[in-house]
Amino acid sequence: AQSVTQLDSQVPVFEEAPVELRCNYSSSVSVYLFWYVQYPNQGLQLLLKYLSGSTLVESINGFEAEFNKSQTSFHLRKPSVHISDTAEYFCAVYAGGSEKLVFGKGTKLTVNP
């Protein structure tokens, strides 16, 4: 069965600093990978996804993630964060043939002025 590990439960950074949120997965079959964002007291929104093709995927608000099959990772990065990026970020994976989307435990990103 697939599983997802988010290596940091909390990440505090200063505004305009770069950030990396780490995600590793385990699966013996092909996978589809996602990052979701949850702003305070809201539901989850899809931030970006990897289904196939280019291993580097980008979101409209400056985040990017790279699928690394050899390291089974899908880390999320942003070169310069804003206060408005403060949220909880969840990595998730579908394994081929499974109907279930499995989530990591989340990383709380806090951007300080």
Partner 1 sequence: NAGVTQTPKFQVLKTGQSMTLQCAQDMNHEYMSWYRQDPGMGLRLIHYSVGAGITDQGEVPNGYNVSRSTTEDFPLRLLSAAPSQTSVYFCASRRVYEQYFGPGTRLTVT
Q: How many residues bind partner 1 (CB under 8 A)?
A: 22
Measured distance CA(94)–CA(29) in Å, rounded: 10
Interaction of residue 29 with partner 1, rule CB under 8 A? no
Measured distance CA(29)–CA(31) in Å, rounded: 6
Angle at 105 between CA 50 and CA 88, to 5 degrees: 75
Interaction of residue 49 with partner 1, rule CB under 8 A? yes
The piece of 14-22, 60-68, 69-77, 97-105 that touches partner 1 (CB under 8 A) is: 97-105
| Among 37, 65, 67, 106, contact with partner 1 (rule: CB under 8 A) | 106
What is the closest distance, in whole angstroms, from the C-beta atom of residue 17 to partner 1 in the complex?
A: 25
Q: Which two tokens stand for residue 26?
A: 């385990």
Q: What is the CA 41 to chain-centroid distance, rounded? A: 19
Interaction of residue 32 with partner 1, rule CB under 8 A? yes
Q: Which two tokens stand for residue 8?
A: 């940091």
Q: Which two tokens stand for residue 78?
A: 């942003």
Provide the binding-site residues for partner 1, judged by CB under 8 A: 6, 9, 32, 34, 36, 42-46, 49, 51, 90, 94, 99-106
